[in-house]
Structure formats: structure tokens, C-alpha cells
Amino acid sequence: MAESDDAGRGPLSRGGVAPQPLFAVAAVLLGSFLANFDSRLTTVGLPDLRGAFSLSFDEGAWLSTAGIGSQIFIAPAVAWLATVFGLRRVLGIPSLVYAGVSLIIPFVHDYPTLLAFSVVHGLLLGTFVPATLMIVFRNLPIRWWLPAISIYSIRVGFALDTSSSLVGFYVDHLGWQWLYWQSVVIAPLMGLMVYLGTPNEPVNRTLLGEADWGGMLLLGASVSMIYAGLDQGNRLDWLGSGTVMALLAAGAVLFAGFLVNESLVRQPWAHVNVLFSRNIGLGLVLILLYTLTSLSNASLVPNFLGAIALLRPEQSGLLLLTCGALPMLVLVPLSIWLLRHFDTRTVVVVGFACFAAANLWGTQLSHDWAREDFAGIVLLQAIGQSLTLLPLIITLLSNSDPSRATSFAAYIQIMRLGGAEIGVALMGTWLRVREQAHSFYLGQNLGVGDVDVVRMLKQLADHFAAHGAGSAQARAVGTLAGLVQREANVLAYIDGFWLCFWVAMAALGCIALLTRAPPGPFTPAPFGFARMLLRKFGVQVT
């Protein structure tokens, strides 16, 4: 990479650079993985949590919504809070409180109290990922940036691919309580790494006096309410539910109020003109498309194995661990090397091409597919995870204005969390609607009195007659209906893979519109024959 003018150091924090950058990197690692693991564990393990807390299906759904919605509420403001109060205060103290809340939650049995603790739990968890990224840019030399950001980037895919196995291990061997209690061990350790890896910074009272509290509250509340509407929409039938309509409408009104507020206040916190750069706007769109196309990894494969192959999370998790998570440990150094020597657009093209190939492969599935049949798909998705998000973040950073870093960070967090939830809501609705459509069309081919239908029912009834002649016919009809539903679900998952494939193709089209980033610390340095040619023509390279 090209050398910077500041002798290889990033923008210094007001307290200076910490003497132990390895501790800062460890804090990034722990904070990023804890946030994604915890969110994913409570999602995958939600059926076990409903049973442990004696919750109804609706109560369990709102428990998940409250936890993730509160993360979305606080996440956009974390970069500003860290700038004003310092990273130690934003991460250190909340990590200890978070550990305490995680310890208490398994002992709570009153639902309103459990919901309140889940909101606090999510608010504290929402500070970890944005703040750990701030550690990279404010406390590490530039030569550490790419490795640290790569850890930040793969955390999502790594958490997705390992969480299923971890949920199964906790529930079967240690107890469901460890879905929360793992944070009691990890969070204080992260706080210690933050203390050792970041300098002690005084409160920036100038920025504090100019705080745009209204803008932060309006944006956080609007995005979290829109998320709640999207999260509950598929369960409550979208526009047919007054609750969903109220959440979406209120979120839209609050977001409009946020835009008005940012245009009127003297010191706007996250003015929208930060998005007017062509590459910034396209980069954020590409992050949204990345979250949508990666749903084949986050949703389609594990859900198919659970719904059609009837596997427990720990059984499907073994595939995701061996073919998804572990290859990323090898792919991360490769992605760093590629970004040091190739344009980020080239690397992103390879990443989205891998996603497109994996999804196209997934359109060939049938109900006979077992866990091992998905190995190639999961491996391609792991390559896509490793070669997509990291270069997209580098593209955004290379085109951003450092003077508007907090505004830029707010929108990054909205796309990071909001995009993922939009994708989950979209995919859930897509699968439900397509399953209903396929069930209807398949059912039209099963007419009463049809020769094939009668023969199939007779074969099934003869099979069940040994267990009771009186119920054989009813069991035969139920089994045939189950087979139709199974095939309708398989066709719906095929449509899901097609949807992710076309999203990946749309992303490849957007990449063609990106322009070269201006020179900076992330500018790739050519090597080999290209380096020799540049030197021959008098171009200085590093």
C-alpha cells in the first residue's frame, strides 16, 4: 500500500496512540465477535429460550425484536459518543454492565421484566461493534488498519457459520443459560483489552455543548421502529396488522423529522449531504445488496436443513463450521494481500461472483439433498464473505471526508443493521408467499378421483393399515398433504436462491458504476511486472 504523509499513523485520538496496539486489536476482535455471536445465538436459540422462559410464540418474537431493535437505536450514535466521551468510557463501563445483565437474565421469569432487561442488553450490545471500529482508526498505525478491519468484516460470516454449532453445544452440554453467560466471561475481557489498548481521553466539552441530541434520538427511534415493523410484519401479515402499520408509519414520520432537524440545526450530527458523493452512495447500496445476497448463507442453507432435512442446529452447524467458518481463517490473509495489490473493485467483483455462483448452484436443490450436498455452496459463500465486505468498507473509507467521520459512521451503522433486517424480513416473506403459491399450483394437479392420486392414497393406506385400519385412510391423506407441502417448500427455497442470485448480479452492475478512489493510505501498490513498468516510466511506487 502507498505510504501516508503521517509516517504511517492514522488520525490520532486526543489521548495519543496506545503503546500496546495488540490489545486494541484484541478488543476489536472480542467486541465484534461478541456482538454478532450474541445476536445470532439468541436468534438460532430462540426456540430453546421460549421453552426455558415459558413464553408463547408471540412473546418470544417480541423478545427478539426488543433485543435487536435497541441495538439499532443506539448504534448510529456510538461514533459520536466515542468522539466526545472517549472509547474507554463508551466501551469499558458498558462492558461490565453488560456482563452483569447477561448474568441476571436467565434468572428472570416475569415477562415484562425480561423484556426490559432485553432492551438494556441490546442497548449495551449495540455499542460494541461501532466503537471497536473506532479503535482501529483512532488508536492504531495505518499498517494495522487492513488486518483489523478484516477481522471486523468477517465477523458476520464467521458468527453465522459457527453460532448453530455453539447453540447446540450450549443447550445439549452446558445449559441454555450459557447463551447469555458466555458474555459474562467475554465482555469484561473486552473491557480490559480496551483499557490496555486505548489511551485515556478527556471529555470533549466543546462537542458536548453542541450536541444534536434531537437528531440522534429521531434517527435512532425512527430506524428502530421501522425495524420492529419489518421484523413483525411477516408474522402479523404486514399491512393487515394495525401494529405493523403503526410502527412503519411512525418510523417514517420520525425519519422525516430527522431530515428536517438536520437541515435546521446549527451543528447537524449526521447531515445527509455526506451521502452525495457518487462512490459513497453506491458503496452503501452495495453493502445493502451484500446483506441481501448473503442471506443464502445466513438463512436459506441452515433453514432448509432444519425445515426439510429436519436437522438440529448443532447438526447443520457442523457443515457451516467446517466449510464456512474455518476457511475464512485462511481467506482473510488472502483478502488482505489482494487489497494491498489490487483495486478494491476487482476484489469485490470476485466476491459477488462467488455469491452468484453459490446461489445459482442452490437453485438445483431437491428434497433429497442432505447436509454434505451443501458443502460446495457454503465454501463459495465463505469466499464471498471474505472478499466482499472488507473491500466495500475500504472503498467507503477511501472516498469519505475525514471531517464528517461521525456522520459517515452513523449511516454505515444504519446500513449494517438495517440492511440485514430488511433482508431477513424480505426473505421470510418471500419464502412464505412462494410456498403458498407453489402449494396452490401443486394442489391443482391433485384432483379428487385422479388415477395417480387414488393409487398413491391406496399405497399409503395399505402401508398404514397394519397400525390400524380405521385411521389408515386419514393418515394417508395427511401424508400426501405433507409431501405436497414439502415440495412446495423446496420450490420456495429454490426461488429464494434465485432471488439472491439476481441481487448478486445487480451488485455486479453497481460495481461497474464505481470510479477509482482518490490516492490515500488504502491505495494498492502494484507488484511484479506492473511495478517494473511503473518504475521504468518514472512513477514512484512503494
* CATH number of the domain bearing residue 343: 1.20.1250.20
* Mean pLDDT, rounded, of the chain: 81
Does residue 450 carry a pLDDT above 80? no
| Residue 3 domain-assigned (yes or no) | no
The CB density around residue 60, as the number of other CB atoms within 10 Å, is: 16
Query: Residue 58 and residue 250: Cα distance in Å, rounded?
Result: 22
Q: Is 148 in the same domain as 201?
A: yes
The two most distant CA atoms of the chain are separated, in Å, by 91
Place of cell 430527522: 258
Query: Residue 282 and residue 338: Cα distance in Å, rounded?
Result: 22
b/e code 196-206 from CB counts within 10 Å (16+ = b): ebbbebeeeee
More confident residue, 506 or 143: 506
End of a domain among 223, 246, 268? 268
Q: Which range, 27-41, 113-127, 321-335, 392-406, has the best average confidence (pLDDT)?
A: 113-127
> pTM value?
0.81
Q: Is 363 in the same domain as 348?
A: yes
Residues 6+ positions from 368 with CB-CB distance below 8 Å: none
- Long-range Cβ contact pairs of 275-282 (< 8 A, separation 24 or more): 275/411, 277/399, 277/400, 278/513, 278/514, 278/515, 279/395, 279/396, 279/399, 279/514, 279/515, 279/517, 280/396, 280/399, 280/400, 280/408, 282/510, 282/513, 282/514
According to the model, what pLDDT value does residue 361 have?
95
N-to-C CA span, the chain = 7
Task: Give the pLDDT band of residue 160 (cuts 50, 70, 90).
Answer: low
How many Å separate Cα 298 from the centre of its chain?
Answer: 8
More confident residue, 448 or 515: 515
Q: Is 234 in the same domain as 317?
A: no
| Residue 5 domain-assigned (yes or no) | no
Q: Are 193 and 24 in contact (CB under 8 A)?
A: yes
Q: Is 176 in the same domain as 234?
A: no
Q: What are phi and psi of 315, to 5 degrees?
A: -75, -45
Query: Residue 525 and residue 539: Cα distance in Å, rounded?
Result: 12
Beta bridge partners of 141: 9
Task: Give the pLDDT band of residue 532 (cuts 50, 70, 90).
Answer: low
Task: Give the pLDDT band of residue 480 (cuts 50, 70, 90).
Answer: confident
For residue 175, what is the DSSP state? Answer: -
Q: What percent of the chain has pLDDT over 70?
A: 86
| Residue 385 domain-assigned (yes or no) | yes
Domain of residue 97, residue span = 10-211
| Residue 2 domain-assigned (yes or no) | no
Task: Give the pLDDT band of residue 254 (cuts 50, 70, 90).
Answer: very high
Q: Is 100 in the same domain as 58?
A: yes
Q: Is 223 in the same domain as 205?
A: no
Q: Are 2 and 523 in contact (CB under 8 A)?
A: yes
The CB density around residue 458, as the number of other CB atoms within 10 Å, is: 12
Going by C-alpha positions, the residue among 68, 184, 171, 51 that lies closest to residue 115 is 68
Query: Residue 246 and residue 229: Cα distance in Å, rounded?
Result: 8
Q: Is 231 in the same domain as 380?
A: no
How many Å separate Cα 503 from the centre of its chain?
Answer: 16
| Residue 1 domain-assigned (yes or no) | no
| Residue 273 domain-assigned (yes or no) | no
| Residue 303 domain-assigned (yes or no) | yes
According to the model, what pLDDT value does residue 136 have?
75
> Based on the structure, what is the number of domains in the chain?
3
Q: What are phi and psi of 141, to 5 degrees?
A: -60, 155
End of a domain among 244, 268, 292? 268
Q: Is 177 in the same domain as 91?
A: yes
Beta bridge partners of 9: 141
End of a domain among 268, 297, 313? 268
Q: Is 317 in the same domain as 457?
A: yes
Q: Are 166 and 312 in contact (CB under 8 A)?
A: no
The CB density around residue 155, as the number of other CB atoms within 10 Å, is: 24
Q: Is 282 in the same domain as 162?
A: no
Total residues found in the chain within this entry = 542
Q: What percent of the chain has pLDDT over 90?
A: 20
Query: Residue 84 and residue 206: Cα distance in Å, rounded?
Result: 9
| Residue 38 domain-assigned (yes or no) | yes
* Range list of H helices, 199-241: 205-209, 213-236
Q: Is 19 in the same domain as 124?
A: yes
Query: Residue 170 and residue 168: Cα distance in Å, rounded?
Result: 6
Q: What is the CA radius of gyration of the chain?
A: 25
The pLDDT tens digits of the residues spanning 228-242 come to 998 888 788 888 889
The pLDDT tens digits of the residues spanning 90-126 come to 888 888 999 999 999 999 988 999 999 999 998 988 8
Q: Is 283 in the same domain as 378?
A: yes
Q: Are 390 and 339 in contact (CB under 8 A)?
A: yes
Residues 6+ positions from 431 with CB-CB distance below 8 Å: 303, 492, 493, 495, 496
Does residue 21 carry a pLDDT above 90? no
